[in-house]
Structure 1
Amino acid sequence: MGLRTFLTDAWSWLNYKPIMSATHDGRPHRSLAPALHATWLPNEAVRRLAAYKLMAAYDNNQAGELTALTGNEAAAERREFGDASTFVDTALAHLLGKSQQIIVPGAEQATDDTPAPEAVAAAEVQQRLRAWAEAELLPLRMQAAERKAVLLGDGLYLLAWDPDKQRVRLKTYDPGFYFPVIEDDADPGDYPQRVHLAWEIPEDPKRGMKPRLRRITYELGPITPSTRSHEAADGQGMRQPVGDGVGGLVVERGDRYNPGFGKIERTYPWAPGRMSAITCYLTDAEWPLDDLRHGHTLDELPLDKARFRTRGDGEVLHRLDLRLDFIPIVHISNTVSDGEHFGQPTLAKVMQALDELAESDTDSARASATTGAPIIGLAGARPEVDRVTGRPKPLAVEPGTIFALADGGRMDVLDTSHQLAELRARVEQVRDRAAVNARLPAVSLGTVDPSDVPSGYALQLSLGPLDSLVDSMRLARAHKYALLLKMVQRIHQAGHAEGWAAGPPLSAQIVFGPHTPTDRTAILEEVVRGVTAGVLSLETGIRMLQDAGYPIEDARQEVERIRAGRQPEANAEPKRIASAPAEAEADDVSE
């Protein structure tokens, strides 16, 4: 009967846009991204990349320009005033809070008189992680990755060991380069065993470079014998097994062959009591697009036509053993997984409201043009005649213009101010509706006059939807950042960095600061009463003050300062009490 297919997936909230299914086979329009029709691109990634391109257009006020490329010429006049970008930036600011701090549970107990070894170890790891975060500009990296996650639904971190700097390097990638190989029966929350980072490199005529495809692959697999870099006869870099001179192969230092299982095993620094037969391999190669045909998928590109890249230390990146039992990539999802590996952007459910808002702004701009320069009808006017053509000159209305009208002549002005007022009211109505559905109250967007808020309790109630939004977004990221900090510890151990002892990594987390204004005075009074009454420890009180926004950089150092300040008072207290009986005896003698 010609019915369209009803499609429901992680990006079905964009089905209402014809540009998302413009071709005969239901694929998105080519204007969303020319690379969408590349033969190497997985079919399951087409709609995801199209959604990314569309969301980026909304963020850059280019949605009308993108729509015009599909043949809708009227869309070129569309007015976009940055509402989508404002919503994204607001959600990002509340998500991250005023500060981000690395916390290792138990580190605050290292200031006790007789601290436990676990507390001392936690304090050392916390200090090292914070030093690493400062060196790697972690807050800036988080800003870049999290804005992608809020806008597109996904963000990406890549960790790599830098032997020159002797620390782990942290990079962020566009999620459009991220292509995990997910098995059909795999749980969406499971970590993939093979991940590709791939993108096309455009042609460079000046350097004589043809368009090519670059693919970086991380994959887990069995440990193989040792390999070394080798340059082939054609000058291409490759890796070949290392022989022992008698026809056998050599294993890496620290590895051993287990004849019972027929596998090579090794012990990793973070699991000293357990043998593992799994490692992570890195492959970084390029392919000319002319060498790729329709049968070549991203996961099965011909290696005989690849040009492998070389690392700074001379190692060819062709199944290079990283000596890790995990893939050093952390995928950030903006929403809690409910059966999908990828997340949804914050604007997913209000896209139609943003379109309606842009159309209302466009109509308002057109109405304001006729209000500021109204349409005037003249009857009985005598227009000036052009002496060259003999035709009447067009009339122009300017300040000080005088029209000579004949008897019975009149001037009529088209007043569109009423329609303009209605359109402006419509714009505010749609904006409020979009803010409500996006769970970004007007007070969080800064569009509410503080004097209009009757009380602090009413303000707190109005921020309820924002609290739930931030809680859900932080919940989706909590275990991902804990995993990232665990990887940082393990890679430092694998690189034999100074100070990073072998052993299981400690649990660490990134704590985001408060996202809404807090009553700091009330929290301070609560902490003072709780610590004085003995129902709260001093460490817990300091942590509460940190969460409230007090400028306390290190809870452990703050506890030490407080206790050091109390020590003189404690020493002076016995002297004052001891002098009391002597004063009483002096009073008795005088009597």
Structure 2
Amino acid sequence: MGLRELITDAWSWLDYKPAMANPCRPGRNAWADLTSSWIPDEDLRRLAAYRLLAAYDSNQAGQLAQLSGDDDRGGERRELGDASKIVDTALGYLLGSEQTISIAGAEHAGDEPSPEVVAARAVQERLQAWAEKELLPLRVQQAERNALLLGDGVYTLAWDPGKGRVLLRTWDPGLYFPEWPEDGEDGGDFPMRVHLAWELPEDKRRGLKTRVRRITYELAPIGPASRRGAVKGGGAVREFLYDEDGAPVVVAGDLLDAGSGIITRTYPWAPDRPSSWTCYLTDAEWELDDLTHADLLYDLPLHKASFRVRSDREVLDRLDLRCDFIPLVHITNSIPNSGEHWGKPTIATVLQGLDELSATDTDSSGASATTGSPIIGLSGARLPIDRATGQPLPVKVRAGTVWQLNEGGRMDALDTSAQLAELRARVDHLIDRVAANSRLTAAGLGTLDPTALPSGYALQLALGPLDSLIAAMRLARNHKYAVLLRMVQRLHQAGQAEGWPAGESLPARLMWGPHTPTDRAAVLDEVVKGVGAGVLSVETGVKMLVDAGYPIDNPQTEIERIQSRAFEAAARLADATSDNAAVRAYLGLPEPHDNAVRVPLLADGGDR
């Protein structure tokens, strides 16, 4: 590859692979499906990188190398799951013990919570109930494993009128094709148009040819009202409505400016800010035979499309989703470099180390074969003869085999145990090198001997690179999950779901569990002393216990339980305020009944 063809981008760490060496059509020898005419050239390197990484994860890197012509003996390559172990280990550390949805200010300890606290608590409970129904921890694990292995993960959100809630779905990033704005040079930018596209195989039984399916989300100015229509041949389309004068017919609630022709809409989450933008959804299919080499993914001819119809009979041809954002979230495994939008996989920088490890394992397998069944040289032995041919029969080494040797005969065995020991030592060296360069550390991968560490502080220092790695990975995701939870709130508002009032969306976060074991006894002692001395609030103390891994499902409920048994604190509150109502509210007791019998208290020394 000449200097003019040297490419430095988000996938340059794979350029040592011959399948990625061609900057124009990478992988053309290995994967014929990547050369489909509808796939743009600028996306081929990314898709080829995904395919290579998936092969490493499934122990097929050797087979892939053989298919692409990189290694004629790739099928004999030994792969023992090292790449998959690194990804799964990093996934466990990233997710932590559990994930919870939290809204700042939802936990409150006091007499009367403010309206803001009540609202935050209500939204938090609704989001947690939604997460339980949509199996959020499972979806997060699906998307995050893609992000760790391939560098990217994709979520989509959709309102389901039948279920009355937002549906969450994860996608293979190989199906994700965004169109970035021309001035979008920052990794935090959001595209104005996004496609999810893939090929559907031929189905001879149903008489269907090979097709291309494309789901498109597009932010565009609000258009006229529309309805289901049909074209010649019976195909379903969407018709936009205009009156007799040619003016657009608007949906109830939208406003048309007669002068400019701009249609505006007030969304529930921004009642004071009318918007002229909405998101349109299109879901269509094209027969592959109808497409030419000039028909690329981003501009497929709509007149050749067959649009899908939703379960409620809505035609998915520029269907107005009635939201001013694209309900799709793209997760990156790392913080993208300036000018990039794609993440870097966890095994990216150690991929060559995994190749070396696989090659050493292959050599070790060969050496162990000659060590367990050594090569033996015989001299002066009387070998059995094949009576039909008169030739000596092949000699096999078996337990109890006896050879008769002539005078001066000898037997020599080839000892390869020294080479096998050296190869095993090289395997250990490579594993340590991979652990260090991936920043998962030998302690994090479980290959470090616990007795080699003199103290817990030494273990903490050994896990230092892992701590910084997980902190950077979570930093790359925190904003994206905050956006996802904001979209969940807004789609429920747009669908007029029960219990989701109009108003600005509250900032919700996905909280990660601790990624390394914590000294829970030390944390508990710290909380008891801090809360008892008055230097820590009950809310902060309970949050510290949750972060330490204590089984506290609902922090607010836990605070209320603690207060309902804090009789000494209630007594001090009574002495300070002389307010019985405040004390009862603090303990969570109901108001006394008017017909309750009141028993007078006698002074000390009185009759009893």
The Cα of 1:451 is off from its aligned counterpart by: 3.1
Match of 1:302 in 2: 301
Match of 2:84 in 1: 85
Structure 2: how far apart are the matches of 1:202 and 1:18? 29
Match of 1:18 in 2: 18
Q: Give runs of aligned pairs for residues 166-205 of structure 1, distance below 5 A.
A: 166-188=164-186, 189-205=188-204
Is the 8 Å Cα contact of residues 223 and 264 (structure 1) preserved in structure 2?
Answer: yes
Match of 1:73 in 2: 72
Give the SS at the match of 1:349.
Answer: coil
Match of 1:360 in 2: 360
Is the 8 Å Cα contact of residues 284 and 308 (structure 1) preserved in structure 2?
Answer: yes
Structure 2: how far apart are the matches of 1:220 and 1:287? 23
> TM-score w.r.t. structure 2 length?
0.92
Match of 2:493 in 1: 493
Give per-residue Cα distances to partners, 1:38-80, cap 9 Å, x unaligned. Answer: 1111111100000000000000000000001123221111100
Structure 2: how far apart are the matches of 1:483 and 1:246? 42
Match of 2:60 in 1: 62
Is the 8 Å Cα contact of residues 32 and 50 (structure 1) preserved in structure 2?
Answer: no
> TM-score w.r.t. structure 1 length?
0.95
Corresponding residue to 1:115 among 113, 116, 121: 113
The Cα of 1:3 is off from its aligned counterpart by: 5.5
Is the 8 Å Cα contact of residues 224 and 242 (structure 2) preserved in structure 1?
Answer: no
Structure 1: how far apart are the matches of 2:2 and 2:141? 47
Identity of matched residues, %: 60
Give per-residue Cα distances to partners, 1:97-153, cap 9 Å, x unaligned. Answer: 0010000000002x4212111111000000000000000000000000000000000
Compared with structure 1, are the counterparts of its residues 383 and 219 closer, same or farther at alpha carbon in structure 2 (3 Å cutoff)? same
C-alpha RMSD of the superposition: 2.0
Specify the code of the residue in structure 2 equivalent to 1:226.
Answer: A
Specify the code of the residue in structure 2 equivalent to 1:500.
Answer: W
Structure 1: how far apart are the matches of 2:431 and 2:551? 36
Give per-residue Cα distances to partners, 1:335-370, cap 9 Å, x unaligned. Answer: 112221110101111011000000010000000000
Is the 8 Å Cα contact of residues 159 and 488 (structure 1) preserved in structure 2?
Answer: yes
Structure 1: how far apart are the matches of 2:176 and 2:167? 19
Specify the code of the residue in structure 2 equivalent to 1:300.
Answer: D
Deviates more, 1:332-341 or 1:465-474: 332-341
Q: Give runs of aligned pairs for residues 187-266 of structure 1, distance below 5 A.
A: 187-188=185-186, 189-244=188-243, 248-266=247-265
Structure 2: how far apart are the matches of 1:562 and 1:196? 51
The Cα of 1:487 is off from its aligned counterpart by: 0.1
Q: Give runs of aligned pairs for residues 457-476 of structure 1, distance below 5 A.
A: 457-476=457-476
Structure 1: how far apart are the matches of 2:79 and 2:495? 50
Give the SS at the match of 2:518.
Answer: coil
Structure 2: how far apart are the matches of 1:553 and 1:31? 53
* Number of aligned residues: 579
Is the 8 Å Cα contact of residues 24 and 41 (structure 2) preserved in structure 1?
Answer: no
The Cα of 1:297 is off from its aligned counterpart by: 1.4
Compared with structure 1, are the counterparts of its residues 119 and 573 closer, same or farther at alpha carbon in structure 2 (3 Å cutoff)? closer
1:49 aligns with 2:70: no
Give per-residue Cα distances to partners, 1:2-59, cap 9 Å, x unaligned. Answer: 666221000000011111125xx65222354322211111111100000000000000
Deviates more, 1:26-35 or 1:434-443: 26-35
Give the SS at the match of 2:350.
Answer: helix
Give the SS at the match of 1:285.
Answer: strand
Specify the code of the residue in structure 1 equivalent to 2:308.
Answer: R
The Cα of 1:495 is off from its aligned counterpart by: 0.2
The Cα of 1:207 is off from its aligned counterpart by: 1.5
Is the 8 Å Cα contact of residues 285 and 306 (structure 1) preserved in structure 2?
Answer: yes
Deviates more, 1:234-243 or 1:346-355: 234-243
Is the 8 Å Cα contact of residues 30 and 67 (structure 2) preserved in structure 1?
Answer: no
Give the SS at the match of 2:281.
Answer: strand
Specify the code of the residue in structure 1 equivalent to 2:219.
Answer: L
Match of 1:36 in 2: 34
Is the 8 Å Cα contact of residues 524 and 545 (structure 2) preserved in structure 1?
Answer: yes
Give the SS at the match of 1:461.
Answer: helix
The Cα of 1:261 is off from its aligned counterpart by: 3.4
The Cα of 1:243 is off from its aligned counterpart by: 4.0
Compared with structure 1, are the counterparts of its residues 119 and 378 closer, same or farther at alpha carbon in structure 2 (3 Å cutoff)? same
Match of 1:378 in 2: 378
Deviates more, 1:36-45 or 1:543-552: 36-45
Specify the code of the residue in structure 1 equivalent to 2:363.
Answer: D
Structure 1: how far apart are the matches of 2:137 and 2:271? 33
Give the SS at the match of 1:276.
Answer: coil
The Cα of 1:185 is off from its aligned counterpart by: 2.2
Structure 2: how far apart are the matches of 1:462 and 1:176? 36
Match of 1:351 in 2: 351
Match of 1:589 in 2: none
Is the 8 Å Cα contact of residues 32 and 54 (structure 1) preserved in structure 2?
Answer: no
Structure 1: how far apart are the matches of 2:458 and 2:150? 33
Structure 2: how far apart are the matches of 1:31 and 1:545? 55
Give the SS at the match of 2:156.
Answer: strand
Give per-residue Cα distances to partners, 1:485-504, cap 9 Å, x unaligned. Answer: 00000000000000100000
Is the 8 Å Cα contact of residues 108 and 556 (structure 1) preserved in structure 2?
Answer: yes
Deviates more, 1:442-451 or 1:9-18: 442-451
Structure 2: how far apart are the matches of 1:147 and 1:573? 51
1:101 aligns with 2:100: yes
Match of 2:590 in 1: none
Compared with structure 1, are the counterparts of its residues 169 and 107 closer, same or farther at alpha carbon in structure 2 (3 Å cutoff)? same
Is the 8 Å Cα contact of residues 31 and 66 (structure 1) preserved in structure 2?
Answer: no
Corresponding residue to 1:156 among 147, 154, 157: 154
The Cα of 1:259 is off from its aligned counterpart by: 2.8
Specify the code of the residue in structure 2 equivalent to 1:530.
Answer: G
Match of 1:588 in 2: none
1:424 aligns with 2:424: yes
Deviates more, 1:385-394 or 1:540-549: 385-394
Specify the code of the residue in structure 2 equivalent to 1:498.
Answer: E
Unaligned runs of 5+ in 1: 586-591
1:451 aligns with 2:451: yes
Structure 2: how far apart are the matches of 1:247 and 1:487? 35
